[in-house]
């Protein structure tokens, strides 16, 4: 990563951390750790800075008061489209949601990284019904469609 890219990533991370500041995961860990792990997964798998920033921002529209206009300080229109695609609306249809994501390379990579991180953390989920639904949805909508790594994690779950 160049110095300029590193600076851009740092600014995006600070923004995401501020927006997720008061949020916690179900295991009580700071929420920002999840988007950071998503971004790091993308980095470790050779995805460029744009993908990594979308990884950092993937939950902002859904889980914070962030607006699309605020994203424009960090993202081009293609990145914003990917963030919007991974953002679930109140009345979303899982099948249509996944189909749209699969047709966008950035959204697909980010959703894959997100799902992998969530599957790794699922063992810490105490709500058995939530865990069952998450595993069911993973099998129905993700396995065989996103990545070999997701499929490997799935086969080990």
pLDDT above 70 covers a percentage of the chain that reads 99
Among the options 18, 27, 48, 62, which is catalytic?
A: 62
- Cβ atoms 13, 56 nearer than 8 A: yes
- Cβ atoms 103, 118 nearer than 8 A: no
CA quadruple 107, 123, 22, 17: dihedral, nearest 10: -40
The predicted-structure confidence for 139-152, as pLDDT tens digits, reads as follows 999 999 999 999 99
The answer, yes or no, to whether residue 130 has pLDDT greater than 70, is yes
pLDDT of residue 157: 59
User: Given pLDDT bands bounded at 50, 70 and 90, which one contains residue 123?
Assistant: confident
The predicted-structure confidence for 5-23, as pLDDT tens digits, reads as follows 899 999 999 999 999 999 9
User: Given pLDDT bands bounded at 50, 70 and 90, which one contains residue 155?
Assistant: confident
pLDDT of residue 28: 83
Among the options 5, 63, 70, 121, which is catalytic?
A: 63
Query: Which has more pLDDT, 127 or 149?
Result: 149
Q: Is 59 a catalytic residue?
A: no
Q: Is 62 a catalytic residue?
A: yes
What whole-number distance in Å separates Cα of residue 6 and Cα of residue 73?
16
Domains, the chain: 3-156 (1.10.3210.10)
């Amino acid at each position: 990563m160049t110095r300029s890219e590193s600076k851009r990533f740092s600014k995006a991370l600070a923004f995401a951390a501020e927006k997720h500041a008061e949020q916690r995961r179900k295991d009580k860990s700071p929420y920002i750790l999840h988007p950071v792990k998503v971004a790091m997964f993308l980095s470790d798998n050779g995805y460029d800075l744009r993908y990594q920033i979308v990884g950092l921002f993937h939950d902002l529209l859904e889980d914070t008061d962030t607006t699309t206009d605020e994203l424009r300080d960090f993202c081009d229109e293609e990145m914003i489209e990917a963030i919007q695609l991974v953002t679930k609306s109140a009345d979303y249809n899982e099948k249509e949601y996944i189909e749209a994501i699969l047709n966008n390379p950035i959204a697909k990579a980010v959703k894959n990284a997100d799902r992998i991180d969530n599957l790794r953390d699922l063992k810490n989920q105490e709500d058995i019904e939530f865990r069952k639904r998450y595993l069911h949805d993973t099998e129905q909508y993700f396995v065989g469609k996103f990545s070999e790594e997701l499929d490997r994690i799935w086969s080990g779950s």
